[in-house]
Structure formats: C-alpha cells, structure tokens
Amino acid sequence: MTMAIRLDDRGIIDVAGEEARHFLHNLVTNDVASLKPGEARFAALLTPQGKILFDFLIFAADDDRYLLDCPLDLAADLQKRLNIYKLRSKLTVTNRSDELEAIAFPDTTEAPKIEAVALAADPRGPLGFRAIAEKGRIPAEDGRKDYEARRIHAGVPLGGVDFDYGGTFPHEANMDLLAGVDFKKGCFVGQEVVSRMKHRGLVRRRVAPYRAQGGAPAPGEAIRLGDVEIGVTGSRLEDEGLALVRLDRLAEAKEKGQSPVAAGVALQFDTEQGALKSQ
C-alpha cells in the first residue's frame, strides 16, 4: 500500500475566478497559463529585488481555480499579499488551511487512487505525488521521517530552515534546478534580477547536501574552513543534511583536500547529488 503522509506544517490558499490564471501567471516565477488539472508547479512570489517572499506548489483544481500549498506559518501573509496585488481583478483569495490539508505520497511513481481536491506528481523531483484533500478524508501514517529523508537526499530546501524568506534568491534555494523558475514565460515580480543572475552566472552560494562524519549538526550552525565562515547548516536527519554554502569556498576545499566543519563535525559535500546534478 502507498504510504500517505500528512504534512501538518502546510497551509492552503485558494485563488479562484475568471482572471485567476492570468493573475498568478503574471505574478509568480513559474508558468501558470499552461497548468492543467492533474498537474502542479513549484513557484515563488518574490520581492521586486528578486528575493523569495513565499514558495509554494500550485495545483490547478479546474480552469478558474488554483490551490497554493504553502508553509502554514506564512499562509495568512500570503493571502494578504495576494490581495494587495489583486486590485480590481475578478478573483477571490481565500485561506482554506482550516478545511484542506496537504498529503504526500513520496514512495510512488503512480497516482494513488484517493478522494482529493487536487492530485499531481511533485514537480521538484523524486518526492512521489502530492494531494490536497479535505481534512481527515485520507487516512495518513506517521511517516514524516521517511519524507524528510527523501527531501534532504534530493537537495530540496525547506524555507525557514534551509534559507531565509526575504533574504534569498531563487537560485540560492535551488529553485532553478527544481523546476521552480520558468525563464521563458516573460515578466513576473523580480524577474529582471533573477534572469540577470542566470545569464551572468552570478550564483555564489546554494543549498547543498552533505554527509556528516557522525550525527549531522543542528540547523543554524556556522560552517567553517579554518577561521573562515562559508555557510550555515539547515535540515538534518541522522548523518545527512542540507546547508547554504559558498560554492567557490567548497571548490577550494575540495582542491586542497579539506573538510568544512560545523559544531566540531566534519562535513562532506557532494554537489553531484540530488538537485545539484544538473548544474
């Protein structure tokens, strides 16, 4: 049986109306115009300076209704921000986090047969399927550890843990490697800065997976090469973790045969692992 994992740290924002598609497409980092029921896209709403304010999965519930699977702690702020941008657009923005929930099916490559409001393959990589359903509709298991292991191994960052909202560019959070930015769709908030980073190769740091020689350090620990700080640790599970690090410093350490250290633990980074393979 396919494992269903309730993600109780996620909220759901409902954007509906005849102009919902156009509104979202012109606002967020990914293509919404071609999004169809049964599909999901990874996207973000950025500051005009190109930094991530909110990241989310967008599901097409039907032609005029979209569901945004976002961090629960940010759901109310996301609703407020979308309403600011809405102006006179013919649509509604509703926080439905009390009614709907996100369910992950990380260990399957086929769509589970369930009653869901929306269901799609997770577009970020080997994380199986994702559903939005009425609360309590789908029986779920306590398998969050399994989901986190897959997420960390795939190099998929978690906002607020692996990067800071309001202070991180999409490239730094691997959104360009996780199908989270469409560089051909045209304008979106912050698009000019993000496109410049891509075309000029200005990405100096990224979230990268590592393996620790011992238990992985807690999130927020400084990573050092000698006396030089090169990054900070994020998500962890057993001896694996993610960290936001300077890529040039990692390359130097590899050339010299040195290991970065955090909280007294040596870390071995692999930029050929997970999402970073495609660089």
| Cα distance between residue 86 and residue 92, in whole Å | 9
CB proximity list for 61: less than 8 A, separation 6 or greater: 14, 37, 67, 117, 118
Token code pair at residue 258: 């040195």
Residue with tokens 């599970």: 237
| pLDDT given for residue 171 in this prediction | 95
Which residues have CB under 8 Å from 200's CB, separation 6+? Answer: none
Domains of the chain in sequence order? 5-153 (3.30.1360.120), 204-278 (2.40.30)
Which stretches in the chain have pLDDT values below 70? Answer: 1, 271-279
Instruction: Give the pLDDT score at 275.
Output: 47
Cα separation, 188 vs 194, in Å, equals: 10
pLDDT at 276: 53
CA separation for the pair 147, 143 (Å, rounded): 7
What was the pLDDT predicted at 143? Answer: 78
Res 278: pLDDT = 40
At 131-186, the pLDDT tens digits run 999 999 999 887 789 899 999 988 999 999 999 999 999 999 999 999 999 999 88
Q: What is the pLDDT of residue 114?
A: 93
pLDDT at 271: 61
* Amino acid 252: pLDDT: 86
